[in-house]
Structure 1
Amino acid sequence: MKEGKITILSFEFFVFAMAVFLSSCTGCSWPTESRRDDRISLMSWNVQNVFDARDDGTEYPEFDPASGWGLGDYRGRLASLSEVIRLAVPGGADVVMLMEIEHGGVLDDLANDYVQGLGYDYWAASQGADSAVQLGILSRFPIRKARSRSIHLPSSPSLRPIFEVELEMEEGEPLFLFVCHWKSKSGGAEDTEPLRIASASLVRKRIQELEGRQVIVVGDLNEAWNEWDLVGGAYQTALLPVSAKRQSGELENGGVLFDEAEGLWISGDREDAGADGCGLPLYTPWPSCDCNGSYYYRGGWEGIDHMLFSAALVDGRGIDLDSFSVAAEAPWCDEDGIPVSYRMRDGYGYSDHLPIVATLRSE
């Protein structure tokens, strides 16, 4: 385990890294049978708390076997997950990224007992000691490296980890995925924004270190692509649009001044991607998506689940973004497209989030 120390937002952060592999590559073969011509499909989904039936001491109280949570409940969740994985992208996406799984054992059970035959020969999960839920990936492509990067702020509880995964592609450069589940707005949007900024800043630092590589930031970021506009620029947000950037290199709106080195720059214009020469801004396809959102909360839609692409994936060369959509289909959403959340009282439902799907085209 490596330990590093960085300063972000005037706090001291300790970044811990640990590789977690739940499968190995012995005599690796490429996923030719499950692939569709020259396309690479990806799916990201917050699965709403999937816990096994063992008492690990870290689960939420309602999922403690002592509270009545049992093997049948767990198996039912896995069956529902596998149904969506098989149908959201027919035959399963080439890479599936999941938020809110208890640990890697969930992926192990899912891959071996429920989505077997779909070609997911590689899977890995994050490891965050202070988090009840983790991040996971199922892949038809070999996983070169997987590293959990957890952030600890002395003045607040530890944040959920950032899961950095390097995939070996069939040809060319590897694909780097940053699978995320940033802090929710529980406790107030503005009050919790520094915690999301901390996660965004760690991702930003790593993207700059990768210097123009193929990168996708994926997951439930708990804020919209246009969060800055939604709050009227009243305070710094974790996701910052290029439109908020001034030539002076600082942000100013409504008399409030911010340091542009914090947060993660994004744009809905492909031509803006990578303009700073250090891998930022990232491209967000949300403004061009003909969809309501991925999360329905208090009568309104929110697009808080993301795939953000580096310039190398939107420049029209090599592997390039072809499409982005929200998988809003029955049975995991109702006739209005609203997610069918999981209900513990009768064991019915899927998740309170809809999956998002992207397709990359390989030239």
Structure 2
Amino acid sequence: MENMKKIFLVLMQVILLAFCFGGCSLGDAEGESSNSERRRGTGRELGSRQKLRVANWNVQTFFDSTTSGLEYDEFKKDGSWGQEAYTVRLERLCQVIKALDADVFVMEEIENEGVMMDISNFLAGEWDKKKVYAYGCFAKDFGAAIGCGVLSRWPISGLTVHGVDFRKQKSDMPRMRPLMQLSVCKGSRMLTLMVNHWKSMSGGENATEKWRNVQESVLSRKVGEELALGKAVLCCGDFNRDIGKFKKGTDSGTILLRELAFGKQNDFGVEVLSPWYDFSQSLVEPGSYYFNGEWSRIDQFFYAGDAEVEYFEAAASEPWSEGESKIPKKYKIWNGSGFSDHLPIVCDVSF
């Protein structure tokens, strides 16, 4: 394990703040690139279709026990936060991961790669060896307190981190999380996974929407490039935008991920599907986030190309939700209770 940690440190220096373990190959960290020619239908004769269960969860400011100075104020000020509290919370997180039993587990609001290693090591020592997450990756921006991580039972390749170009924006740019793009390989098939954590609504939903529009444009372009190559694409993450506030596509159940042109949002981009809408176009209950007495659906899966979501739910089981109400049990640092203020979302995707 010490040798593995040394390898991580070398990779971290080469590709900024992104890392993989378990044999993952890495792409270069980059900004937006040009669109490829839009073409469909290639790469679909690689073998029989495969299926993966994918879980996505905003785990609510999951910091380790070491003070780096980047932690949120409540973790700096609370005298009860330390190794013991961290270990208890780590065990609790792993309890949920085991219960959901996903092939790929995506998390937002993880502090660093060390937390990812702790999760992987804990699960490896406590669980069925056939279900160990042997592969994983993590990325965050320089100076950021938190980032996103992926654990997988199947090989990961081609991790690429897409930043955002703010030079066309007149306002002071907030800190923004990059888009993670990677491939998960099962058998002879490959699924492109795009992990998102968009700008929060802190500062006002309307005032911050323009920054989410920028991130939407980056995602739209990258999805379009993958679709042009005939890929199966699954997007996931905490988008900090309710599903009802995305632009509807031309067909029932479709969402238009829009691109920016000359700093303005236009009605062009790529169409994707959302599993929040059932066959009757009603919204799946419950949502994934509960605030001010209302459910919202800000955590998303979007799928396109050769990907098809066959099952979806906001996993509202106990002990991480409040029984009949299904409200997520928010983590409370002052007494160490709870899990997260989001529910995990889970889907079965074939490709």
TM range (shorter): 0.7 to 0.9
Higher relative contact order (CA 8 A, sep 6+): 2
Corresponding residue of 1:241: 248
Corresponding residue of 1:105: 114
Q: What is the CA-CA distance between 1:67 and the residue it aligns to?
A: 4.8
The reply to whether residue 46 of structure 1 matches residue 28 of structure 2 is no
Corresponding residue of 1:308: 302
The reply to whether residue 338 of structure 1 matches residue 332 of structure 2 is no
The answer on whether the counterparts of 1:130 and 1:158 sit within 8 Å (CA) in structure 2 is no
Aligned residues with identical type, % of pairs: 31
Please report the TM-score for the alignment, with normalisation by the length of structure 1: 0.74
Secondary structure of the structure 2 residue equivalent to 1:260: strand
1:226-265 to 2 correspondence within 5 Å?
226-227=244-245, 239-242=246-249, 259-261=266-268
The reply to whether residue 217 of structure 1 matches residue 230 of structure 2 is no
1:103-182 to 2 correspondence within 5 Å?
103-114=112-123, 116=125, 117=129, 118-151=131-164, 153=166, 155-172=172-189, 174-182=190-198
Structure 1 counterpart of 2:106, which letter? M
Structure 2 counterpart of 1:358, which letter? C
What residue ranges of structure 1 are gaps of 5+ in the alignment?
A: 1-16, 27-36, 228-238, 252-256, 266-279, 315-320
The reply to whether residue 78 of structure 1 matches residue 78 of structure 2 is no
Equivalent residue for 1:283, pick from 273, 276, 287: 273
Q: Distance in 1 between matches of 2:288 and 2:296?
A: 6
The answer on whether the counterparts of 1:295 and 1:301 sit within 8 Å (CA) in structure 2 is yes
Equivalent residue for 2:345, pick from 315, 331, 356: 356
Q: Distance in 2 between matches of 1:218 and 1:349?
A: 24
Corresponding residue of 1:55: 67
Structure 2 counterpart of 1:349, which letter? G
Residues 21 and 258 of structure 1, relative CA distance in 2, 3 Å threshold: closer
Structure 1 counterpart of 2:276, which letter? W
The answer on whether the counterparts of 1:96 and 1:137 sit within 8 Å (CA) in structure 2 is yes
The answer on whether the counterparts of 2:75 and 2:333 sit within 8 Å (CA) in structure 1 is no
The answer on whether the counterparts of 1:151 and 1:158 sit within 8 Å (CA) in structure 2 is no
**Number of paired residues?**
289
Structure 1 counterpart of 2:333, which letter? M
Superposition CA RMSD, Å: 2.6
The answer on whether the counterparts of 2:78 and 2:333 sit within 8 Å (CA) in structure 1 is no
Structure 1 counterpart of 2:317, which letter? E
Secondary structure of the structure 2 residue equivalent to 1:226: helix
Q: What is the CA-CA distance between 1:258 and the residue it aligns to?
A: 5.6
The answer on whether the counterparts of 1:225 and 1:286 sit within 8 Å (CA) in structure 2 is yes
The answer on whether the counterparts of 1:99 and 1:136 sit within 8 Å (CA) in structure 2 is yes
1:261-276 to 2 correspondence within 5 Å?
261=268
The answer on whether the counterparts of 1:78 and 1:114 sit within 8 Å (CA) in structure 2 is no
Q: Distance in 2 between matches of 1:105 and 1:331?
A: 26
The reply to whether residue 191 of structure 1 matches residue 217 of structure 2 is no
Q: Distance in 2 between matches of 1:295 and 1:54?
A: 29
Q: What is the CA-CA distance between 1:209 and the residue it aligns to?
A: 1.6
**Greater displacement, 93-102 / 353-362:** 353-362
Structure 1 counterpart of 2:95, which letter? E
Q: Distance in 2 between matches of 1:69 and 1:19?
A: 25
Secondary structure of the structure 1 residue equivalent to 2:208: helix
Secondary structure of the structure 2 residue equivalent to 1:291: coil
Deviation readout 1:125-174 (Å, 9 max, x if unpaired) = 013113211000000111112122232535212311111122222113x2
Corresponding residue of 1:31: none
Structure 1 counterpart of 2:173, which letter? S
Residues 148 and 361 of structure 1, relative CA distance in 2, 3 Å threshold: closer
The answer on whether the counterparts of 2:160 and 2:182 sit within 8 Å (CA) in structure 1 is yes
Corresponding residue of 1:8: none
Query: Runs of 4+ in structure 1 displaced over 6 angstroms?
Result: none
Q: Distance in 2 between matches of 1:301 and 1:68?
A: 31
Q: Distance in 2 between matches of 1:282 and 1:38?
A: 20
Q: Distance in 1 between matches of 2:294 and 2:274?
A: 21
Secondary structure of the structure 2 residue equivalent to 1:344: coil
Please report the TM-score for the alignment, with normalisation by the length of structure 2: 0.76
